[in-house]
Amino acid sequence: MSDAETQAAPQPLAGITVVEFTHMVMGPTVGHILAGLGAEIVRVEPIGGDRTRRLIGSGSGYFPMYNRGKQSICLDLKSQEGIGVAKDLIAKADVLVENFRPGALDRLGLGYEECSANNPRLIYCSEKGFLPGPYENRTALDEVAQMMGGLAYMTGEPGKPTRAGASVIDVTGGMFGVIGILAALEERHRTGKGQKVTASLFETTIYLVGQHMAQYAVTGAPAAPMPARVSAWAIYDVFQTKDEPVFIGVVTDALWEKFCKLFELDDLWANEALRENNARVQARDDIMPQIRELVGGMTAAEVIGKLDGSGLPFAPIGKPEDMFDDPHLNQGGLEDVTLDNGTQVRLPTIPLEMDGKRIGSSQELPTPGKDAREVLSGLGYDASKADALIAAGAVGETA
């Protein structure tokens, strides 16, 4: 997204200020979405910067993905001066976002009760592992929640629990935090008062697997892991072509007719007993070998060529790196991002359009403490006070 596009993007949260005490994925996701909606985000990092910046392997994409469009100030929260700056930031903020272990900010004097006493309009969003209950003081991660909550069980082969292939609970938990913040902002319009909002990893997981819990409640039979499940549709699977695999789904009786005609499956269409979905599910073992043989004799391009525009659900099996060249995403789904080392990359936009326009924010990724003096000035600190805080090491500044 260019500077001109960013300026033209919807800014429904313009004028809302957010102070963010976060790390990893869940908390930063909240701030990233709010920034995309036009809020001003001041991200508080430890001196030298958040360690998330320096993760390698599967964690190397966390910081650039979820921290664009934010200001950065580095504070020593073990010093009274650093805590003083943090309290001044919070006193002027509309929203605070944090996702540290339970009690971490309370021990610093930055818990909800103290912050709201100084700023009754403050909306204080805590992103935690668990909502109140026996587990609330446990340490949780995305993978912990997936394992505990049944998502890993449902994703893997029977007996082989497998986490989902992205930080889906961190991100979705962050989205629930945003929903809570937006609701609290609306309530504040009526009452003038802020409140505490809490979202969690474990309960987010339970919400996502709720369909499987409901299945058990309705049928009395436990849901089988997805690879071993009895599908609701006979044709709803990945098929190997001559070259690349393709997913195909036939999810209505009308689409069954269309599928048979597209692929000239006259014998299957002639069998009137198969024209109703549940009958096809029961006959799946007879139907699937014929479909697999048919698709296996075609290239992926040939299969997609038949299905594209037909209304039948289908998908090539993409990899994350393939998305950079996806023609659809390159019509607005990716935006230019400047990393903190100056490298230019393209990363996904927030998947939301308002009034016919994509939302977005500044896509520069700040170096640690880059905005320290600007943030301090906004708090009313003069240059000499800023110099003193930096010299004392309470505030870090990018060299």
pLDDT tens digits for 85-99? 999 999 999 999 999
In the predicted structure, residue 361 carries a pLDDT above the cut 80: no
What pLDDT shows up at residue 363?
A: 79
- Supply the pLDDT for residue 109: 97
d(CA 305, CA 322): 19
**Could you tell me the pLDDT band of residue 261, with boundaries at 50, 70 and 90?**
very high
Give the integer Cα–Cα distance in Å for 274 and 287: 10
Mean pLDDT of 228-249: 95
CATH 3.40.50.10540: which residues of the chain? 3-209+333-396
pLDDT digits (tens, 9 = 90+) for 124-170: 999 999 999 999 999 999 999 999 999 999 999 999 999 999 999 99
Listed in sequence order, the residues at least 6 apart from 241 whose beta carbon sits closer than 8 Å to its beta carbon are 295, 296, 298, 299, 300, 302, 303
In this prediction, residue 356 has a pLDDT band, given cuts at 50, 70 and 90, of very high
Question: How far, in Å, CA of 374 to CA of 73, rounded?
Answer: 9
Angle at CA of residue 207, ends 187 and 172, nearest 5°? 70
Contact 126, 141 (CB under 8 A): no
Indicate the fold that domain 3-209+333-396 takes in CATH: Rossmann fold (3.40.50)
CATH 3.30.930.10 matches 231-319: no
Residue 8: pLDDT band with limits 50, 70, 90:
confident
pLDDT surpasses 80 at 194: yes
Region 345-358 average pLDDT? 94
User: Pick the residue with more confidence: 363 or 284?
Assistant: 284
Residue 95 in contact with residue 22, Cβ under 8 Å?
A: no
Q: Which of 30, 108, 27, 48 is nearest to 396 (CA)?
A: 48
Q: How far apart (Å, rounded) are the C-alpha atoms in residues 19 and 122? A: 10
Give me the pLDDT at residue 2, please: 53
Mean pLDDT computed over every residue of the chain: 95
Render the burial of 59-97: b for 16+ CB within 10 Å, e for the rest.
Answer: eeebbbbbbbbbbbbbbbbebebbbebbbbbbeebbbbb
Q: Within the chain, which residue ranges are assigned CATH 3.30.1540.10?
A: 231-319
